[in-house]
Every structure is written in C-alpha cells, then in structure tokens.
Structure 1
Amino acid sequence: MWGGQTKKYYNGRLKGILKLLVNYWLILIGFTGLSMLIGNGNQMPGTLWQFIGNVTTFDTSYNGAWWYLFVYILLVLISSFIFRCSNRLPDCVTFAVSFIIYSSAYYVRFSISDKNWFLTKYGLIGMTFFEFIIGMLACKGMWIEKIKCYITKRMCIWKRVILSSGLLIGILIGHTLV
C-alpha cells in the first residue's frame, strides 16, 4: 500500500512529467509541421506505430534530440523505488551495482546491434542510471558542500583560482575528446 508521502511524491512528479510532455508535444507538432512544409517530412507521420511511438516518447524517429525523454520519465517513475533500495544498502553496494549495470549497458549499446528496441533502450537507460546514482549519492553524501568547505578552509585564493582554471581547462579539453 502506498503511504501518504509516496503518493504526494508521485503526484508532484506526474504533474511535472505532464508539463514536460505538453512542451514536448508542442515542439513535436511544430517541428513536424515545419519539416513537412519545407519538404523534409517524408517519414512523417510514418506508420501508425511510429506515430504512437513518437507521441509517447518510445520512439524518436521524428526528432532524435529527444532520445533522453523516455529515459528521464522512466527514471522519475522508478526513483522512489531506487531511493528506498539505496537507503537500505551501503553506498558502496549501490555504486557497485549501478556500475555493473552501466558496464553491461555500455557493452549492449556499443557492441550489439541497435535493431532491437529493448536492447537499445537498455543501453540508454543503464548508462543514464549510473549517472543518476552518482548524482543521488552526491546529494545524499553532500559531496558539494564537503568539497566547498574543504576548499574554502584549506586553500588560499590564488590556489582556488589555479584549481578552478585547471578544472575549466580539463573540462573543455575532456569534452572535446568525447
């Protein structure tokens, strides 16, 4: 049975998902219409299943940039379960399990043919799940606050500037390599 907190949590999340979907549908209609007007909409609306898939976010053949929406919605819907499991397990076990899921999803996504819808979605969800868990553990352990406190107490201003510059350069270079 659902407790009051869980029901309240899901009601808030479902409202947020609905708002996001309305925006998605408006953009989907706009870009689909625009594509048809300029002559690039030859795959639209496609088959009935393609149309239903694009409206429900199961498929992104109309606009591939929305690939993350299905994954996001699924993670939001199962997040309460994930949080409960994480609270019952040590953080290192949560991290290890999510890393195993990530590793298998990475293999599936990049080594196995993407013709199978379930395998494709597993690859996307499994890899994003690990990032979700890292964020959850960072929030739970208050990593940002601890790092900020450590840096402000132990480093003088010029060391902070050098560290910040190094991080920025590392992020920019790292991003170009990916």
Structure 2
Amino acid sequence: MPIYLFASGYGLFFSLGKDNTLIVKKNGIRILKLLINFWIVLIMFMGIAFLAGKPEAFSGGFTKFLLNFFLLSNSYNGAWWYLQTYVIHVLLAPLLIKLIKRYNSISMIVLSGIIYLVSYVERIKHLLDLGDNAELIMVVNALVLVGTSQFAFVIGIIFAKERIYSKLHNKFYNMKFKNVLCLLGILLLVVLHAFYESMIIAPFTAIAFICLFNLIKKSIFMERLLTVLGNHSTNLWLTHMFIYISIFPELIFAPRYPILIFIWLIVLCLLFSFVINAIYFPILKKTVGKNVLIVDKQHDKPSEIKISG
C-alpha cells in the first residue's frame, strides 16, 4: 500500500498543481469515479456470494451494509481500509501540496515522519483508552490510518516537487549493469522485509523499490504487461480478498503451489475486472461525462499513476 500512497502523492502534485480553480471539481470527480467502481464491486460480489451459497461473507445486516457502502467500515473486505484513507488524502492533497510547495522539503519530511511514528505507535499499542464509544473509536481509527499512511503520500509529493526521480534517472540512466544492480537491490529489500517484518519500515522499502524498479530498463512486452495490470489494478485490489478468502478459497488454492496459486488468482481477478469495467465505463460516461474518460480507459486512481522522469 505505501507504493500506492507514494504514487498518489506524486501524481496528485502534477494533476492538482496545474489549475487551482479546478481542484475541487477534479477531486470530486476523482472520488466519485472511485466510489462508482467500488459500489459496482460491492454489489456484484454480494450477488456472487449469494449465488455461491456463501452469504455469510456479507453478514451484519443492513446497518453493516451501509457502513461499508459509505466507507465507514471495511468488515466485508479487509483490503478496503484504504478506500476511506485515500478519499481523506485526496481531500487533504490541495493543502498538503500548498504547504510542501511553501516550506522546506526536509522540514516537511521530518514533520510527516513524526506524525507517522506517533500514529504507528497508537495503531500497534492502542495507548488511547477510548472505552466503548464506537463513534470515537471509528474517528480515531480513521485518523491513525491517515497518520500512518500520509508519510509515503507526502514523500511522493516531495519527489514530484524536487524532481527527484528525474534526477535519479538522469544520473543512473547510462550506468553499467543497471538492471542487474537494481534487481539485486530489490532482492535485498525482499530479504530485509523477510528478516524484519515490522510494518514501520514499509514506507522506506516501498520508496526504495519504486526508485529501483523505475530505473530498470524494461522490454516492450514488459511495459505492455505492466500497463494492462495497471489499468486493472484497482479492480484487482478491490476483489482479490473476496476471491481467495471469502468466496472461492477452494478454487484458488487448487493448484497447491504458491506461484501457481498467485498466477491463478491474478487471472481470475483480471476476468472479474473485465466484467466490472464493462459495467463501470458506461455508468461513468453517463454520470460524469465523456471528458473524464482517460485515453485507453485508465482510471484516475492511486494504483494507476505512472511515475516517469
């Protein structure tokens, strides 16, 4: 998720920084598009769960449905916690971008890092005694999630402001054995995370991964494959836990071997994504108009921002 957050901050810096008069409209459309996509997935998989004989995947009654529908709960799908957090980040983005443009980048990183550490401690240790107040718990939980996620988001904005990726690209573009060294760097990040599993390092390893991955010279086939996956990545994120945990676990784990299970999961998620998009784009066209449909039907969402020099 820190990769999405970084990419979101990076992309929003450019998309919101061009015309201040349209920021509110842009953000409104951006959030509406995501919600439409989310609601389609929610309703579709409720129907699938019912037909598959697993209505318990959406237990909790109408109240629970409304809480999930309006992003106040992620009880149906644990991966959906980021929906609410992303919406909050989009709403805060104009202010954050304005502050980061005005003040020294190092100072903003330090301030963001302090907020991240405090929020992380509260998320893990639960130091605040909130009692049984459900509403207060919900608000504090939302603030803590924003606090722990804003660091990668802010770093993404700063990377865009300082053109850091462009500088890295220009400096290392002609370096010998660049691909090999970058792949070794990514492997070291994986090993580091394997030995030190704490979430606290996730933003740092994610940012390092993005830098290394983008420096790798990719084949045309790989670029096209990544583009396809990027165009469907939001749907993959919204649906994958339903497929491998809630509704079709037996089907997903049938191949038995991890790599085959992973590929099979991606394939099924992509198949569902094509169906979702077949519903999504006509609705989007009627609700927000043709002018917001991006070329090649790419959504303006966090997972699909391309970082380039």
Quick check: TM above 0.5? yes
Q: What displacement does 1:89 show?
A: 1.6
* One-letter identity of the residue aligned with 2:167: K
- For 2:122 and 2:50, how far apart are their aligned partners in 1? 35
Distance 1:45 1:11 in 2: 36
* Structure 1 gap segments, 5+ residues each: none
1:38-57 C-alpha deviation (Å, 9 max, x unpaired): 34333746254422211111
1:123 aligned residue = 144
Match of 1:81 in 2: 95
Distance 1:79 1:46 in 2: 34
Contact 1:102 1:129 in 2 (8 A): yes
Q: 1:81 deviation in Å?
A: 0.8
Q: For residue 163 of structure 1, what is the aligned residue in structure 2?
A: 181
What is the match of residue 141 of structure 1? 162
Alignment coverage as a number of residue pairs? 171
Structure with the greater relative contact order (CA < 8 A, sep ≥ 6): 1 or 2? 2
1:98 to 96, 103, 112: 112
- Give me the whole-angstrom Cα distance separating, in 2, the residues matched to 1:33 and 1:152: 50
Q: Identify which of 16, 25, 29 aligns with 2:43.
A: 29
Q: Letter of the aligned partner of 2:83 in structure 1?
A: L
State the match for 1:111 in structure 2. 125
Q: Is the CA contact 2:101–2:161 (under 8 Å) kept in the aligned structure 1? A: no
1:70 maps onto 2:84 in alignment: yes
2:10 maps to what in 1? none
TM-score, scaled to structure 1: 0.84
Offset of residue 101 of structure 1? 0.7
Question: Quick check: 2:116–2:151 contact (8 Å CA) kept in 1?
Answer: yes
Amino acid of the structure 1 residue aligned with 2:89: L
**Cα distance in structure 2, aligned partners of 1:175 and 1:19:** 34
Q: Deviations over 1:92-145 (max 9, x none)?
A: 221111111100110111111797222322221111101100111111111111
Q: Per-residue CA shift, 1:5-60, capped at 9, x if unaligned?
A: 43412212211211111110010011122223334333746254422211111111
Contact kept, 8 Å, 1:108 with 1:120, in 2: the verdict is no
Q: What's 2:263 paired with?
A: none
Q: Kindly provide the amino acid, as one letter, of the partner of residue 73 in structure 1.
A: V
Instruction: Return 130-139 or 29-38, whichever deviates more.
Output: 29-38
With over 3 angstroms needed to count, the CA separation of the structure-2 counterparts of 1:49 and 1:85, relative to structure 1, is: farther
Contact 1:25–1:55 (8 Å) recurs in 2:
yes
Give RMSD over aligned pairs.
2.2
Shift of 1:91: 1.0
In the alignment, structure 2 segments of 5+ residues that lack a partner are 1-18, 198-309
Matches within 5 A, 1:8-23: 8-23=22-37
Q: CA deviation at 1:62?
A: 1.4
